[in-house]
Amino acid sequence: MKLVRFGKNGHEKPGIVDSNNQIRSLEGIVDDIDGHALSEESLAKLKGLDLSSLPLAPEDARIGPCVGKVGKFICIGLNYSDHAAESGMPLPDEPEVFTKATSAICGPDDDIIKPKNSTKLDWEVELALVIGKEASYVTEEEAPAHIAGYCVCNDVSERSFQLERGNQWDKGKGCDTFGPIGPWLVTSDEVGNPNELDMWLEVNGRRYQDGNSCTMVFKPAFIVSYLSQFMSLQPGDIISTGTPPGVGLGQKPPVYLNAGDKITLGIERLGTQQQVVVDYKKP
């Protein structure tokens, strides 16, 4: 299944994508596409629906972030050996863990806001997984049963904030609009093997990233097991699993985003995103 949220920012409604790629409303069936809706029981109920009987969403409806009420937004850094090399950083012996603020989450096609004083705004196409069942001290073999599905994430990063202002990566990762997710959450049964998905990203029509999840150092099941040794993972939590090479920081010379730039990215079976960079404006 492809689960989606549509509507105005902050007022998204739950939906599901039918066989004709039309969005059908799930209003009255689930309150939201969130942790409660991602339980095994809820997903089984949704899978049994006659989608043709559900009302269509408006054709011009905005697509929102594919998961609502996210409790934790966890990221894994340097999880592709060639990306670590282009960043000039050693490959970690264990997953490099940091968080993005949940306030960074936005829709897959929403504008990316370039923060005040930003000089090195960068992109990262990433495979993100979404927890469907609480995970605490689970084994790698048990971990897949705790993953509800997967989605595309653009781990937008401000490199000067991240790397030149102390050792706290979070400062360059959690700005508003730095976490587009979606367009939809694809359930695990439909994704199949998450370790062999093509992924790509273009800026202004030029392809910079062209990789595959098969080159991840730490795979999704291992990541879930690993994180569950340090914290319980709750339904609706998002874990973004790292990016292949081709980020702006790794170009020679480096290339960074400016207002007006257009980013297009996607992952096989998970859909595409498209964003335009805009300058920060005081509300």
Q: Would the pTM of this model clear 0.85, i.e. be above it?
A: yes
Q: What pLDDT digit, counting tens, does each position of 78-132 carry?
A: 898 777 777 777 788 999 999 999 999 999 999 999 999 999 999 999 999 999 9
Which tokens is 209 given? 């990233």
Q: Give the span between the Cα atoms of 148 and 143, in whole angstroms.
A: 11
Q: What pLDDT digit, counting tens, does each position of 191-221 carry?
A: 999 999 999 999 999 999 999 999 999 999 9
3-state secondary structure of 41: helix
Which tokens is 190 given? 């439909």
Q: Give the span between the Cα atoms of 71 and 59, in whole angstroms.
A: 30
Residue 192 CA neighbour count, 13 Å, CB half: 6
pLDDT at 61 over 90: yes
Q: Give the span between the Cα atoms of 14 and 24, in whole angstroms.
A: 9
Residue 221 near residue 213 (C-beta atoms within 8 A): no
Residue 111 near residue 262 (C-beta atoms within 8 A): no
Residue 74 near residue 97 (C-beta atoms within 8 A): yes
pLDDT of residue 80: 87
CATH number of 67-279: 3.90.850.10
Indicate the range of 2-11, 51-60, 73-82 predicted with least confidence: 73-82
Domain boundaries, the chain: 67-279
Q: What pLDDT digit, counting tens, does each position of 242-265 carry?
A: 999 999 999 999 999 999 999 999
Amino acid at 74: I
Categorize the per-residue pLDDT at 58 as very low, low, confident or very high, splitting at 50, 70 and 90.
very high
Place of tokens 């595309």: 152
Residue 69 near residue 32 (C-beta atoms within 8 A): yes
Q: Give the span between the Cα atoms of 10 and 6, in whole angstroms.
A: 10
Q: What pLDDT digit, counting tens, does each position of 138-169 carry?
A: 999 999 999 999 999 999 999 999 999 987 78
CB atoms within 10 A of CB 72: 17
Q: Give the span between the Cα atoms of 68 and 129, in whole angstroms.
A: 14
pLDDT of residue 31: 98
CB atoms within 10 A of CB 143: 23
Range 269-283 average pLDDT? 96
Looking at every residue in the chain, the average pLDDT score rounds to 96
Which tokens is 61 given? 């409806």
